[in-house]
Amino acid sequence: MQTMRAILADVPDPEIPAVSIIDLGIVREINEARVVITPTYSGCPATFAIEQMIRAALDAGGFADVAIETTLAPAWSTDWISDEGREKLRAYGIAPPPKGASASALKNAQAAECPRCGSSNTEEISRFGSTPCKALWRCKACAEPFDRFKCH
Amino acid sequence: MDTLATYALRLGDDSLIAGQRLGEWCGHAPALEVDLSLANVALDQIGQATHFLALAGEIEGQGRDADKLAFHRDVMDFTNCLLVEQPNGDFAQTIARLFLFSHYQELVFAALATSKDAHFAAIAAKAVKEVAYHATLASDWVVRLGDGTEESRARMVAGLDWMWRFVDELFVMDEVDTAALAAGVGIDKAALRGAWDQRIDAVLADANLARPAARRPVLGGRVGRHSEHLGHILSEMQFLQRAYPGATW
């Protein structure tokens, strides 16, 4: 039988399926009684979908009696995205957020590294992108637009 | 409702009406990027509203959840500040409202994050990171429009002028606020005015705009005395649950 952690590591984020909910750092506690998750953004529409996917995965793995709970504190931060998760984001075409920069990077956003060509010659097009957690950027070296995971 | 339930309700109503109003831009904004931005801001606000209204319902203990409070109250039961229900007008008028409101919210949530009530503190600590983005977005546009063309500047001036009379209400401390503060749960909104003025003035200076002339403040939102605009928001927002009570997806 798979461990609960291994089961959860196979549950993808519904909006960014390249990373799992473990990679994203939204699973805060795993034990025999419960799984505690925290939303990325207050209004993240994926929160409900994530809960349903976890339920289905736990049920299928034989953990039907494990409860799923949601907590808001401490608030999720992009610092909780694992190193592996960051690499998966990059490979998927999303520039990961710099680590340890969740607060300071808000006002003076450092240039993002283009996930396609690696250039730092990039510019922000829009601070809000296709989902609450992403901003829209453009690479001036390879001319490709790309998503950047917002520091949070 | 007891004091703390009302306190949570007010915070929730502010975010809910702000988000519902801003959501009217979805599909209508002047550019795709702006459309995405405004819809995302509205989504954050409605998410915050969900948390605060759920908390209000829990404290009240009458079995009302966030949806019940959002969709099954009449206009005079809403406790939002008058600023957030003001019409979108043109893009500059909408930006003026978001600018004044998001800077206020950022200060409110930063202070509320240290509330001794863990529920209020948790929602605020999460929300403050989101509204920091809203405030930056709105400030950028105030500068761009205010320091832009003659046309954009005139519109930004008119937008700020429309919204300005609803600013004072944000910082009023009535008996609910005072009691929540005394209980160690609420915050001193009046004490935030100086910091808010500084932030607003700094952006206006960047935008080469003068602070609008002081106007007689319009008050009453916290006790349900609203402008005619709120009823129209509710008629759209509540239509489905009023026509088909309890309908689900």
Nearest to A126 among B33, B48, B122 (CB): B33
Against a cut of 0.90, is the pTM above it? Answer: yes
Pick the closest to residue A122 from A110, A134, A112, A108 (CA basis).
Answer: A112
User: In this predicted model, what pLDDT tens digit does every residue of B135-186 receive, in sequence order?
Assistant: 999 999 999 999 999 999 999 999 999 999 999 999 999 999 999 999 999 9
A145 touches chain B (CB under 8 A): no
Strand-pair partners of A124: A137
Here the ipTM equals: 0.86
Q: Do A106 and B133 touch (CB under 8 A)?
A: yes
Instruction: Tell me what the mean pLDDT of segment B183-212 comes to.
Output: 98
Gap between the Cα atoms of B229 and A76, Å rounded:
36
Which pLDDT does position A109 carry in this prediction? 61
Residues of A in contact with B110 (CB under 8 A): none
pLDDT top residue among B98 and B30:
B98
Gap between the Cα atoms of B8 and B50, Å rounded:
11
Which pLDDT does position A102 carry in this prediction? 54
Pick the closest to residue A61 from A71, A69, A70, A53 (CA basis).
Answer: A53
B74 touches B86 (CB < 8 A): no
Q: Do B46 and A44 touch (CB under 8 A)?
A: no
In chain A, where the domains are located: 4-70, 94-149
Gap between the Cα atoms of B46 and B172, Å rounded:
24
Distance from the Cα of A40 to chain B's closest Cα (Å) equals 9
Q: Which residues contact A81 (CB under 8 A, 6 or more apart)?
A: A19, A23, A24, A25, A89, A96, A97, A149
Residues of B in contact with A101 (CB under 8 A): none
Q: pLDDT tens string for chain A (152 positions)?
A: 579 999 999 999 998 999 999 999 999 999 999 999 999 998 888 888 999 999 999 999 999 999 999 999 999 999 999 999 999 999 999 999 887 765 555 545 678 899 999 999 999 988 888 888 899 999 999 999 999 998 88
The answer for A 37-66 residues in CB contact with B (under 8 A) is 39, 41-45
Q: Which residues contact B62 (CB under 8 A, 6 or more apart)?
A: none
Show the CA angle centred on residue B102, arms to residues B157 and B177, nearest 5°: 115
Question: Which residue in chain B is spatially nearest to A41 when comparing CA positions?
Answer: B44
Pick the CATH number of B3-243 from 1.10.287.990, 1.20.1260.10, 1.10.8.60, 3.40.190.10: 1.20.1260.10
Pick the closest to residue B84 from B66, B67, B102 (CA basis).
Answer: B102
Cα distances from A111 to residues A122, B96, B135, B137, in angstroms, run: 6, 29, 21, 18
Tokens describing residue B12: 């929730």
Residues of A in contact with B33 (CB under 8 A): 125-126, 128, 136
A130 touches B36 (CB < 8 A): yes
Distance from the Cα of B36 to chain A's closest Cα (Å) equals 6
Instruction: Tell me what the mean pLDDT of segment B102-106 comes to.
Output: 98
Helix, strand or coil, per DSSP, at residue B90: coil
